Amino acid sequence: MLASIIKINGYRPFKALMLREYWENRRAIFTTPLVIMGLSMVLIIISMGLLGRAIHIDGQSYTLNEMITNMSAHKAQNISAHINHLLLASTLPIMIGAWFCMVFTALGSLYDERKDNSILFWKSMPVSDLQTVLAKLLNVMLVIPFVAIGFTFIFQIFLLIVGSFSTLGTDYSAWDLLWSSSNLPLLVFSEVTYMVMYSLWALPVFAWFMLVSVIAKRSPLLLATIPVALVILFETLFFHSEYLARFIGMRLTGAHILQTDNGFGQNFAILGINTPLENIQSAAKPEFWIGLGIAAALLYATILLRKRNSL
């Protein structure tokens, strides 16, 4: 199956471009979430230990058996909510790592090919600049986060298995207490719809990163952040407003989807309550379509600049 995926039969330039993105960015796509997941598993085995060690929550210590006993005392609806929030919170390190990979891959997407002169080879191939930019965009906005979601699913299964071991020798059923309460298929579907909507909401910011990547002669990160920081400072000092900072911050944190003004970090639990339909309903906001229009203009400029600049 893998051989059929990586094999190119006939003239399939877009598939070749997507495979190019994988081979050039496999650390961001595959290695980074794998390492974070592996380290998280090791830390959980050490800290939660399967050794009877105490877990510290809000300044108090609990053993695994005490946590199981406390969970079993709650109603089934409360247990399900707590488990889903725990499983969602457990994905945060992997998704934060994926977010950084998305940012730096976007910033280097069109800069690196000029830096190593590989642009000369790809411009000699029968592929358009539109196809090249689109492949890089899909890699950043879909491939990286969706592979990360796959690793989060594996990690959530691992957490449920660890929790199941803790019920051995007790009067509690791991299936009734953990597996049936978690509703993993709905949880994963909610994560997928959230990530799709997040990618669309954040598209203008990542389109800006790609535009900077095609312009920058060196250090795309500085070129992407310094002018924006100066504009934000100018707006704050002379207009006493923060529209640009709010525009960027809320899109990068997913606050529009969570329907909150406080950002992602302070309201992560809300994601567990949102259904996939509620995530999709954020597209009804006018800001969503304004952002897509801005992203389209930035991507069009990116394609034009790549077409005109070979080096």
Query: Tens digits of per-residue pLDDT, 238-259?
Result: 888 888 888 888 888 887 776 6
Distance separating alpha carbons of residues 76 and 175, to the nearest angstrom: 12
Inside any domain, residue 137: yes
Predicted confidence band of residue 186 (pLDDT cuts 50, 70, 90): confident
Q: Which residue has the higher pLDDT, 85 or 15?
A: 15
Of residues 116, 106, 99, the one with CA closest to residue 224: 106
Burial string for 38-75 (b: 16+ CB within 10 Å, else e) reads: eebeeebeeebeeeeeeeeeeeeeeebeeebeebeeee
Inside any domain, residue 2: no
Inside any domain, residue 229: yes
CB of 202 closer than 8 Å to CB of 95: no
CB of 164 closer than 8 Å to CB of 179: yes
Predicted confidence band of residue 27 (pLDDT cuts 50, 70, 90): very high
Residue 10 confidence (pLDDT) above 70: no
Residue 19: give the domain boundaries. 11-308
Distance separating alpha carbons of residues 181 and 76, to the nearest angstrom: 7
Q: Which residue has the higher pLDDT, 138 or 257?
A: 138
CB of 119 closer than 8 Å to CB of 310: yes
CB of 218 closer than 8 Å to CB of 304: no
What DSSP state is assigned to residue 183? -
Inside any domain, residue 283: yes
Inside any domain, residue 186: yes
Residue 65 confidence (pLDDT) above 90: no
- Tokens standing for 204? 């203008």
Inside any domain, residue 58: yes
Domain count, the chain: 1
Average pLDDT over all residues of the chain: 79
Predicted confidence band of residue 127 (pLDDT cuts 50, 70, 90): confident
Three-class DSSP category at 97:
helix
Inside any domain, residue 1: no
Give the residues across from 249 on adjacent strands. Answer: none
pLDDT of residue 267: 43
Inside any domain, residue 125: yes
pLDDT of residue 275: 73
The answer to pTM > 0.85 is: no
- Tokens standing for 99? 């977010």
User: Which residue in this structure is represented by tokens 């300044």?
Assistant: 59
